[in-house]
A and B are shown apart, each in its own frame.
Chain A
Amino acid sequence: MSILLTSGVVPTRAGHLNPCAKITAIVLLGVPLLLSIDLVSSTILLAAELVALPLLGLGPRLLGRYAWPMLVGLGGIVVANLVAGGSIGSLGVVTVRLIALALPGLLLVLTTDPVHLADALVQVWHAPARLAYGALAAFRLIPLLAGEWQSLRRARRARGLDAGRNPVVAVRLAAGTLFALLVVAIRRGIRLAAAMDSRGFGVRRDRSHARPSRFSRVDWAFVAGTAVLAAVAVTVSVGTGHWHFLFA
């Protein structure tokens, strides 16, 4: 199960990378992209990403299938900028930077099993187990909410309550249903917490790990490669005089 898909994680080479390595890469690539608004560094990074992603198993077909919401959002930003009177040149920079920023995030989301993410956060970065596995368990309850929402709506219709074409009533009805959904979700969460407690969650500090999560040599190489790439992009940009520090 990937973070986005419940049908199963897309089997890719990147799936074998430690999730913490992928998060590190996002930060390493994100820093130069967020600090400078120049076309040179962002183009280098985007080009490198477009070469690297298929090598990691995320080819154009998979990207096309899952990246379209991002492209739609990007289109919206471009149009809004044009309407607000932005120039085509600055728009090009913004677009390239946004795509270059978003692709590593997409890699994390599409190729990471949430269980492995929690394992890695706890074992590699020593995040509190209570937080990581608690969030993971809560996350599992989210798909149930869709069914509950439908039941709550149907129950309202059965009692003679619907909005028809009146938007004010529709908003009030939705707000009431949402509140009821929240109540249902909290009560289920309390039951889940009791079940976890009864299985010893939080009893000992020295929890063991059934699924070892290690930062392997491949992970180190991946992070080092990303760091080199970021350094090259910044050096070329500064050397050619295009670096434009955002806060300068």
Chain B
Amino acid sequence: MPGAAVAPARVQARGWGWRHAGRRAFAVQELDLVIEPGERVLLLGASGAGKSTLLAGLAGILSGQDSGEAAGALTVDGVPTHEARHRSGLLLQDPESQLVMARAGDDVAFGPENYAVPPDEIWRRVDDSLATVGFSYGRDRLTQALSGGEKQRLALAGLLAIRPGLLLLDEPTANLDPDGASLVRSAVQRALAETGATLIVVEHRVEAWLPMVSRVLVLAAGGGVLADGPPGVVFRGHAAMLARAGVWTPGVRPVRLPGTTPVGPAAITARAAAYRYRGGEELALQPTDLMVHQGEAVAVAGANGSGKSTLATVLAGLAEPSAGTVVGADDPRPLAARRARSLARLVGTVFQDPEHQFLTRTVREELAFAPRRLDWPAGRIEDRVDDLLDRLRLSKLAGANPFTLSGGEKRRLSVASALSAAPPVLVLDEPTFGQDATTWRELLGLLAAIREEGTGLFIVSHDRDFVAVLADRTLTMTAGSLASPLGVSG
């Protein structure tokens, strides 16, 4: 029988707060709440309101003097959470850092081993948990060969094997493509149906989770609870406040923002450009012809691993095509053969992970970096940096270290720094990955504005809404080949 029922857990916070070591302010403060056994709660709040801290606290992994300071009480079934770790299971965002073992079965067995479950019982639980999440491979499947969605499902199975009465999900689908995200949601749904466990889930994109939750809790940025109740009541009564907090209000569709100025000349042209990874047998990118014009937004959609990021790196001159060429309008040499300075005059690139991009110690230096490399006069750099700081609401953070910014601020800075040398083309790889609604809208506004100014945009994204709102042309990538089934849209 797959997935035995468990006793659902009761959660209580009384004046609870937590201050991370080395921080002055409390991440969570003066929190009072009760979650009854078997309730399914969607936890919302602005970025920085302490949602992740609360989940980590409930998972019992915040204890220890060196990690921070607690206030009040946080209990699961009346027991302090750090003594009740076996009652909860925490699923985090990054699929790469949740799996411990090389083989799927061994990974699921890891939790029960830690709780000294007898070996026969462990393997029974492993098989049950894998069946519950719908894992379609055997115990010996190598975890490194799994897609992001499959990894998250496996990680969920690893939690279920501990038989937790409380499931804590911290943006479990934020890093996944739509197919991967729906895999994870259906696995969670089955797990809840079979175990009856209490659920607390944090997600920005609430709509898909609504059928699963019975209660919405909104944390206030300064501490305490802002709103609490059934989903319908909370979303109707607090729509404006939730929008400010970066929550996607269900049912609201953003308005299309097509380009209004005529499309300019081609800035980058790919002719039969193909790419093969070293040692790879198949072409990751089949021979592709493509032009990116100034003043247009071209979007490429497609599943993870379809080759869209490869196309972006080849078009941005960051990887040399194995066959064919990619050239810019400003220089007859292929992009991959150009020096970095010359390339930076033509194209800026925004990477999937903003942290990969940061080169300096302050936000201001980060923005001045590329213009300085291109020998702009000091006065012009100054003006450009001030303008960008202002437009991306980063002025107050000009002296901050890029690594200390919030997720949304990091994303804004990474876009601003790619734009800083005013290149005619901007290539963006999953710019809305894991972003809340506020950052999402800001990115949209910014990209629409620079397109009006004549910048060509090449956007790789599986964010259907973002693409639908912004793109003048949408192409779809399948197994390394481009197709535009709908022809030229917009």
Give A contacts to B, CB under 8 Å: 1, 6, 114-115, 133, 136-137, 140-141, 143-144, 148, 151-152, 154-162, 164, 176, 180, 183-184, 187-189, 191-192, 194-204, 206-212
When distances are taken between beta carbons in the complex, the residues of chain A under 8 Å from B353 are 151
Asked whether B35 is an interface residue with its Cβ less than 8 Å from the other chain, the reply is no
* Minimum C-beta distance from B346 to chain A (A): 11
Q: Specify which chain A residues have a CB less than 8 angstroms from the CB of B110 in the assembled complex.
A: 133, 196, 199, 201
Is the Cβ of A136 less than 8 Å from the Cβ of B359? no
The 8 closest A-B pairs by CB, nearest first: A160-B344, A160-B373, A200-B114, A162-B340, A210-B109, A158-B349, A191-B97, A198-B90
Known pairs A184-B355, A199-B111; A157 contacts B119 (CB<8 A): no
Q: Is there contact, CB below 8 Å, between A209 and B357?
A: no
- Our pick among B97, B115, B142 for the contact of A188 (Cβ within 8 Å) is B97
**Are B341 and A160 interface neighbours, CB within 8 A?**
yes
* Contact residues in A for B92 (Cβ distance below 8 Å): 191, 194-195
A157 to B116, CA, bound (A): 50
Name the residue of chain B whose CB is nearest to the CB of A114. B102
| B20 at the binding interface (Cβ < 8 Å) | no
- By beta carbon, the residue of chain B nearest A118 is B101
Query: Do residues B115 and A159 form an inter-chain contact, with CB atoms below 8 A?
Result: no
- Please indicate the chain B residues that have their CB under 8 angstroms from the CB of A188 in the complex: 94, 96-97
Distance, CA A78 to CA B139, complexed state (A) = 47
Q: Judging by beta carbons under 8 Å apart, are B97 and A195 in contact? A: yes
Q: Is B415 an interface residue (CB 8 A)?
A: no
* B89, B98, B347, B417: residue with the most chain A Cβ atoms closer than 10 Å: B98
B114 & A159 in contact (Cβ 8 Å cutoff): no
The answer to whether the Cβ of B209 comes within 8 Å of any Cβ in the partner chain is no
Residue of B whose beta carbon sits closest to that of A189: B97
Chain A residue at smallest Cβ distance from B414: A155
Instruction: Give the residues in chain B near A202, CB-CB below 8 Å.
Output: 114
Given A141-B97, A191-B94, check contact A157 B318 (CB 8 Å): yes
Contacts of A208 in B (CB 8 A): 112-113, 115-119, 122
Alpha-carbon gap, A212 to B135, bound state (A): 25
CB within 8 Å of A: which B42-93 residues:
56, 59-61, 85-86, 88-90, 92
Closest chain B residue, CB of each to CB of A119 = B106
B403 within 8 A of A: yes
Q: Are B421 and A200 in contact (CB under 8 A)?
A: no
CB distance from A195 to the nearest CB of B (A): 4
Q: Is the CB of A204 within 8 A of B115?
A: yes
A144 neighbours in B (Cβ, 8 Å): 96
Using Cβ atoms and an 8 Å threshold, which residues of chain A touch B359? 155-156, 159, 161, 176
Contacting pair A160 B122 (CB below 8 A):
no
Chain A hits for B98, CB < 8 A: 191-192, 195
Complex Cα gap A184–B358 (Å): 11
A158, B348: Cβ atoms closer than 8 Å = yes
| Cross-chain pairs A/B with CB under 8 angstroms, 11 sampled | A154-B313, A155-B357, A158-B351, A159-B340, A159-B344, A160-B344, A191-B97, A192-B100, A195-B92, A195-B155, A207-B114
Given contacts A156-B340, A183-B355, A192-B98, 18 further A-B contacts (CB under 8 A): A115-B103, A137-B100, A140-B102, A141-B96, A155-B359, A158-B349, A159-B357, A160-B341, A160-B343, A161-B373, A162-B339, A188-B97, A191-B92, A197-B85, A199-B89, A204-B114, A208-B112, A210-B122
Chain B residues whose CB sits within 8 angstroms of the CB of A158 once the complex forms: 316, 318, 340, 343-344, 347-349, 351, 357, 418
Cα(A186)–Cα(B430), bound, Å:
24
Q: Which residues of B, 400-418, contact A by the 8 Å Cβ criterion? A: 403, 417-418
A200 contacts B340, CB within 8 Å?
no
Q: Does B356 belong to the interface (CB within 8 Å)? A: yes
Q: Is B144 an interface residue (CB 8 A)?
A: yes
Are A200 and B85 in contact (CB-based, < 8 A)? yes
Cα separation A148 to B117 with both chains bound (whole Å): 37
- The distance in angstroms between the C-alpha atoms of A108 and B348, with both chains bound, is 48
Q: In the complex, are the beta carbons of A159 and B373 less than 8 A apart?
A: yes
Interface centre among B99, B126, B318 (most CB of A within 10 A): B318
Q: Which of B118, B339, B355 contacts A164 (CB 8 A)?
A: B339
Asked whether B159 is an interface residue with its Cβ less than 8 Å from the other chain, the reply is: yes
- Determine the distance from Cα of A211 to Cα of B110 in the docked complex, in whole angstroms: 11
A183 to B404, CA, bound (A): 13
Q: How far, in angstroms, from A164 to B337 measured CA to CA in the complex?
A: 11
B459 within 8 A of A: no
User: Shortest distance in angstroms between B189's beta carbon and chain A's nearest beta carbon?
Assistant: 21
Contact A201 B373 (CB under 8 A): no
Asked if B369 is at the interface (CB within 8 A of a chain A CB), the reply is yes
- The residue from B86, B106, B351, B418 contacting A203, defined by CB atoms under 8 A apart: B86
- B202 contacts the other chain (CB 8 A): no
CB-based contact A199/B356 at 8 Å? no
Given contacts A148-B356, A155-B357, A158-B316, contact A209 B113 (CB under 8 A): yes
**Bound form: Cα–Cα A197–B119 in Å:** 21
Is B319's beta carbon under 8 Å from chain A?
Answer: yes
A227 to B116, CA, bound (A): 36
B56 with A194: CB separation less than 8 A = yes
Is B162 an interface residue, CB under 8 A from the partner?
yes
In the assembled complex, B370 has its CB within 8 A of some CB on chain A = yes
What distance in Å separates the Cβ of A170 from its nearest Cβ neighbour in chain B?
12
Instruction: Report the Cα distance A53→B144, complex, angstroms.
Output: 31
Which residues on A sit within 8 Å (CB–CB) of B99?
Answer: 140
- Encode B365-399 as 1/0 by CB contact (under 8 A) with A: 00001100110000000000000000000000000
Interface string of B303-332 (1 = CB under 8 A from A): 000000000010011110000000000000
Residues of B within 8 A of A191 (CB): 92, 94, 97-98
